[in-house]
Every structure is written in C-alpha cells, then in structure tokens.
Amino acid sequence: MENKEYLYDVFVICPVRNASEFQKAQINDHIKGLEDAGNVVYYPARDTDQDDTVGYKICSANRNAINESKEVHLYWDKESSGSLFDLGMAFSLRKRIIIINPETMGKTETKSFENMVKYWSYVNN
C-alpha cells in the first residue's frame, strides 16, 4: 500500500436513517474512544449532509470520505442498505476493516455476505 496522507484515520460505516437509540449509543461510545485517543473520525450521521431526497449526494460524499480514510470501522446491521453500499465501496478501495460489534454477526455453513465481511476483517488485520 502506498504512503498516502489521509484526511481521516477512520470512517465509520453504520446505520444512519433507521439506527436505534441503542445502536446510536454504541456507535457514539466507539467514536468517543477513537477521538479521545487522538483519531480523526468521519461519522456519516454527523459529517455527511443528510439533506438529500435521492441519496446520490450522500453516497458520493461517503465515497470521498472512505477514500480519504486510512481504514473503516463497521457497525454491523444487515438491514442497513446504506451500510451495505458503503461496505462495497470500502471493499473496492481495499480498505482495512474493523468490526465494532462482531457478536451480532451470525455464521452460516455456506457462503454468505456476513461470512465474507468477517473473513475480510480477519485477512486485513
């Protein structure tokens, strides 16, 4: 990997539109820990303008921020279509991934997206 200067240390992939209060609390605790340790964190719920009736500007802003981040931290919620979209971009950009809440991820006997994401976090660390 090239020695690139990044704007952000971490981009947080997580549900935004339909995040529960429990999820928001866990995500905010994770971000606080990162920022208290001196990391520059991009959090879409806070840092991406969510005033977009189509979603294209949101996805574009997130793509740019993911590209400008050293790594991504994922709060897994398989129902969050925006998170799945952002994960695809992070994969394409070959970003290192850390799963914030691995205990919520199931394991299937056959190939599945959850298995792939867990494997990705394992091989990139």
> pLDDT tens digits, residue range 3-23?
789 999 999 999 999 999 999
The pairing of beta strand 41-42 with beta strand 8-13: parallel
Residue whose pair of structure tokens reads 């190939």 in the numeric block: 111
pLDDT of residue 125: 60
d(CA 8, CA 47): 12
Q: What's the pTM?
A: 0.92
d(CA 81, CA 100): 18
pLDDT of residue 2: 57
For the chain, residues with pLDDT lower than 70 are 1-2, 125
pLDDT of residue 107: 80
Query: Domains in the chain and their CATH numbers?
Result: 8-123 (3.40.50.10140)
pLDDT of residue 1: 47
CA 35 to each of CA 20, 40, 57, 80, 96: distance values in angstroms, whole numbers, following the listed order: 22, 6, 26, 24, 18
pLDDT of residue 4: 84
